[in-house]
Copies of this chain bind each other. A is one copy, B any other.
Amino acid sequence: MRKTRVSIADFDPEIFLKETGLGRTIVELKKNQVLFTQGDAADSVFYVQKGSVKLTVISPQGKEATLSLLDAGNFVGEQCVASAERIRVVSATALVRSTLLRIDKAEMLRVLQQEHAFAGVFVSFLLARNARIQEDLVDHLFNSSEKRLARILLLLAHFGKDNEPETVIPKMSQEVLAEMIGTTRSRVNFFMNRFRKLGFIDYNGVIQVHSSLLNVVLHE
């Protein structure tokens, strides 16, 4: 064990994000339980310890879109750290039974301010998130909905698995897939069947993605 000191050098982001403490509480969510809703007051940040969370937005016209899925190790609702943001701009819902750490905004600001190591972890997270959203945007700028669907399926096939090249996709309706790639269910259905006929995916109950699906994304 390390020498005990009062200095900040003892601060460990890993531990901070695992344990409760001042301004930190544990939140347990059942599958499909809502963490917060677009429009809610935003006074805390969450950190996913176990499970996964889906971020969605609703358009003024009532259409829903899914922005991203966040699994263990991600922050949720981090926008509220920005001074101007007092309101949630997205909704967050648990995809499966999940455990999150809720961190008060004030505590979050304090720790960011005082603990280098933690700020580093947070910056890394923000950069990764940035890169991912930007990729999604590029995907929209360049690709047809067919390719977007193929890409999302490939990404989902690895979602939440750091290790094995598992190819089974989390239970997910065609409707939700459509929301994620910004198209209609008709379209998703059409392509899913096409991919199946071509042998890129298997698909009876659960969806299994084969690496051959990569061809759709890569080709031409």
Q: Give A residues with C-beta under 8 Å from B.
A: 57, 59-61, 63, 65, 67, 78-79, 81-83, 85, 89-90, 112-114, 116, 119-120, 122-124, 126-131, 133-134, 136-138, 140-142, 179, 182, 218, 220
Contacts and interface: CB of A to CB of B under 8 A. Distances in A.
Nearest to A61: B220
| Residue of A129, A130, A131 with most chain B CB atoms under a 10 A cut-off | A130
B130 A119 contact: no
Interface of A is mostly: helix
B133 A83 contact: no
Nearest to A84: B128
Given A113-B116, A120-B113, A123-B122, A131 B67 contact: no
A114 to B, nearest CB: 7
A173 B10 CA distance: 55
Given A112-B120, A119-B112, A133 B126 contact: no
A79 B114 CA distance: 24
A64 to B, nearest CB: 9
Contacts of A140: 137, 140-141, 182
A78 B142 contact: no
A124 B120 CA distance: 14
Contacts of A127: 78-79, 81-82, 126
A67 B137 contact: yes
Contacts of A141: 57, 65, 67, 140, 179, 182
Nearest to A179: B141
| Residue of A63, A129, A138 with most chain B CB atoms under a 10 A cut-off | A138
